[in-house]
Every structure is written in C-alpha cells, then in structure tokens.
C-alpha cells in the first residue's frame, strides 16, 4: 500500500508547548453555506514538561453528555502547575454530531466509533478518525473515551476496559478502571469491535479506558459527578495530575458471552419488567413488546438467557425489530 496522504486537519495548538492552550482541530469542509469553510473541533492542551500523555475524549457519539460535561469543565479548570506531562482534551470528538445532538454525523451519517482507522481522503467523520489514528493516538500513553447510552440506551454507571491478549496491557487498563471508581466497573465484551476507536488504541498498545454513564440522550447530576471525579482519579492514578485518588466502592461486572444481549424481533411498545441494577434469573422475562396495530394480541416476552443484573436497557418507549432491548452482566465476587 502506498503511503497515506497527510491529514487535512490543522491544529491551532502546539502539542509540545507548556501551559494551557484552547484551540481547534480545523478540518476544511467546503459546502453550500461556506465555500472555503471548516469544521472547528475544540481542543485543549495542558502541558507541564516531560511525562506521560493522556488523550481524553467525549462526544464520540454526539448524543452522550457526561463526557463533554466533564471535559469542558476539566479544560476550563485544570491548572498546569498540578500537571506533570500532557493532557489533550477533545470534549466533542464527533463535533458535527455533537452540535446536532445525534449519535452519528449529520454530514455523512458517520458513526465515529465504526470509522477507524479512517481515511485522510474520506468523509468528514473518516478524516477525524484518521487524525486520531495517525496524529493523536501515537502521542498518548493513556486514552480515555467517555460514552453513555445516548438517546436509545440507558446504562448503570460503569467504567470499563476490554479483556486483551496482552495481559500486561489489560492489567494497566483494569487498574485505571478501578481508579476511576464508578459504582460499577466492567470487563467489557463488544458485539461489533471492527472500526472502533477502542480497538485502534488497544492495537497500538495503549492503555484504553471507556465508560457507559447513563443515557437517554441527557445526563443526570449523579452521573456527571461520577464522570468529573472519575477522570481526575484516572489522571492522578497515571501520575499526570497531583493528588491522591478519591477511591469509592465499585462492583466489578463481567459480560461473559453473547448471551448478555437481547434483541427485539418485532416492532412495538416496550414494557421494561426489570429496572437497571436489579437482579435477573436465567429465563426471567426482562421486557415485553406489545403489538400496537390492533387490540387483543399478546405481547412478545424477552427472556434472559443467563442470570445476572440488568446493566443496560432500551430507552425509548417504542422499539423496532433488531433493537437492543437489554444487556445483562454478572457481578464478580472479589
Ligand atoms: Zn457512545
């Protein structure tokens, strides 16, 4: 394969300069209302000398708010005198999606978390992915990417990392998850890992940590507090920010197999039979999907295929065939 062309994205910050810089990743985007226009993705760099680099992102999906709420505040308040090394903050990674309040980009329908490694000559979303892949990820020692459920899912608040073939890398990631101190900590399984930012970072050998902190296309006071405390904890744990980790109690969870997930096979109106965090027995009905086209029809029952607790659920009141209805997880006894 021939060498890829350079990224079209021009940063207005210098990643090697000490102090605080608020600027942009400027991505040329010529369009009807702005012939030589650009997408201006906010970026903040806080640097104080040599040391590790943390790359922090929110808004990978545009309708998830705990990450942006934590990271715009961190960018505004982090004092470089308390930093050893570099913190790169991109609070709204898929900025067009974030501005539209949608999971994917309104420009190209790109799902940032299925667009890696991206392309320098691709769509707007692919160009952003390519810039992270080739310019930002290589700078980082630790990569933290905030997620929540967005408009269609709701989660118990957890911090997570993946089971990895490199056990030393996995151990560092789980130690960072533990430091985050969310109410739940997850050993995560993906149903669709190709093209994910997670996978790109992990394949580069980075310590990669993520979250699911609620959802429904909004945020809650509790989940925002968890996000703000947690990200400072991770930076302290990594030795990048001064101070002790504020440990909280966390319950470790595991997603042992694909049996965790349940999907709707019909359209209808969903009735959640179990609330988030509640225990579920194998075979128990976790949700019912009511047909709404006529009266007199029995609901479809969605049964658990394993025992555990309800870690995530479909959020809107209406459901379509193929939607993820529920995710179960197993509490790990320590
Ligand atoms: Zn997400």
Measured CA to CA, the distance from residue 255 to residue 277 in angstroms comes to 14
Measured CA to CA, the distance from residue 328 to residue 253 in angstroms comes to 10
Centre of ligand 1 from the C-alpha of residue 61, in Å = 5
Centre of ligand 1 from the C-alpha of residue 1, in Å = 32
Residue 193: what pLDDT? Answer: 84
Neighbours of ion ligand 1 (CB under 5 A): 61, 64, 147
Measured CA to CA, the distance from residue 225 to residue 246 in angstroms comes to 13
Centre of ligand 1 from the C-alpha of residue 113, in Å = 8
Centre of ligand 1 from the C-alpha of residue 60, in Å = 6
Residue 1: what pLDDT? Answer: 52
Residue 188: what pLDDT? Answer: 87
- Is residue 192 over pLDDT 90? no
Centre of ligand 1 from the C-alpha of residue 114, in Å = 11
- Is residue 159 over pLDDT 80? yes
Centre of ligand 1 from the C-alpha of residue 178, in Å = 21
Residue 302: what pLDDT? Answer: 97
Residue 3: what pLDDT? Answer: 81
Which is more confident, 333 or 314? Answer: 314
Q: How confident is the model at residue 189 (pLDDT cuts 50, 70, 90)?
A: confident
Centre of ligand 1 from the C-alpha of residue 69, in Å = 14
The structure tokens 């209808």 sit at 268
Residue 333: what pLDDT? Answer: 80
Centre of ligand 1 from the C-alpha of residue 320, in Å = 20
- Residues written for the chain: 334
Burial 143-154 (b: 16+ CB within 10 A, else e): bbbbbbbbbbbb
The DSSP result for 261-294, as a single string, is: EEE-SS-EEEEESS-TT-EE-TT-EEEEEE--SS
198-247 confidence digits (pLDDT tens): 999 999 999 999 999 999 999 999 999 999 999 999 999 999 999 999 99
The DSSP result for 186-199, as a single string, is: EEE--S--TT-HHH
Centre of ligand 1 from the C-alpha of residue 152, in Å = 10
Residues of the chain with pLDDT > 70: what percent? 99
Centre of ligand 1 from the C-alpha of residue 294, in Å = 35
The structure tokens 């010529």 sit at 30
33-74 confidence digits (pLDDT tens): 999 999 999 999 999 999 999 999 999 999 999 999 999 999
Centre of ligand 1 from the C-alpha of residue 96, in Å = 15
100-147 confidence digits (pLDDT tens): 999 999 999 999 999 999 999 999 999 999 999 999 999 999 999 999
238-285 confidence digits (pLDDT tens): 999 999 999 999 999 999 889 999 999 999 999 999 999 999 999 999
- Is residue 191 over pLDDT 80? no
Centre of ligand 1 from the C-alpha of residue 16, in Å = 30
**Alpha-helical runs (H) found in the chain:** 66-77, 95-100, 124-131, 167-180, 197-203, 221-237
Q: What is the mean pLDDT of the chain?
A: 96
Residue 2: what pLDDT? Answer: 59
pTM metric for this prediction = 0.96
Virtual torsion, Cα 173, 176, 178, 182, nearest 10 deg: -110
How many CB atoms neighbour CB 239 within 10 A? 12
Centre of ligand 1 from the C-alpha of residue 27, in Å = 22
Backbone φ and ψ of 290, nearest 5°: -90, 125
Average pLDDT over residues 134-161: 98
């Amino acid at each position: 394969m021939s060498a890829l062309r350079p990224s079209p994205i021009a940063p207005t910050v210098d990643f090697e300069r000490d102090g605080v810089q608020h600027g942009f990743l400027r991505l040329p985007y010529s369009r009807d209302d702005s012939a030589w226009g650009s997408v201006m993705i906010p970026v903040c760099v806080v640097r104080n000398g040599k040391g590790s680099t943390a790359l922090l992102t929110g808004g990978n999906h545009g309708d998830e708010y705990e990450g942006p709420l934590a990271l715009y505040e961190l960018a505004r308040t982090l004092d470089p005198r308390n930093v050893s090394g570099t913190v790169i903050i991109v609070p709204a990674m898929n900025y067009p999606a974030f501005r539209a309040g949608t999971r994917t980009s309104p420009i190209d329908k790109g799902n940032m978390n299925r667009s890696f490694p991206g392309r320098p000559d691709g769509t707007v979303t692919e160009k952003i992915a390519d810039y992270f892949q080739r310019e930002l990820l290589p700078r980082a020692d630790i990569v933290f990417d905030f997620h929540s459920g967005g408009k269609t899912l709701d989660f118990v608040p957890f911090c997570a990392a993946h089971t990895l073939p490199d056990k030393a890398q996995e151990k560092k990631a789980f130690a960072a998850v533990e430091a985050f101190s969310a109410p739940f900590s997850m050993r995560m399984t993906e149903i669709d890992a190709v093209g994910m930012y997670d996978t790109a970072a992990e394949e580069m050998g980075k310590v990669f940590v993520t979250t699911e902190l609620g959802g429904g296309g909004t945020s809650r006071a509790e989940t925002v507090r968890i996000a703000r405390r947690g990200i400072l904890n991770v930076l302290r744990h990594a030795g990048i920010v001064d101070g002790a980790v504020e440990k909280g109690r966390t319950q470790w969870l595991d997603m042992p197999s694909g049996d965790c997930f349940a999907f709707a096979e019909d359209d209808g109106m969903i009735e959640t039979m179990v609330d988030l965090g509640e225990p579920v027995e194998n075979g128990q009905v976790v949700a019912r999907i009511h047909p709404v086209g006529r009266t007199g029809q029995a609901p479809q029952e969605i049964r658990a295929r394993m025992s555990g607790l309800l870690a995530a659920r479909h959020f809107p009141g209406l459901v379509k065939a193929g939607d993820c209805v529920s995710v179960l997880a197993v509490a790990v006894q320590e």
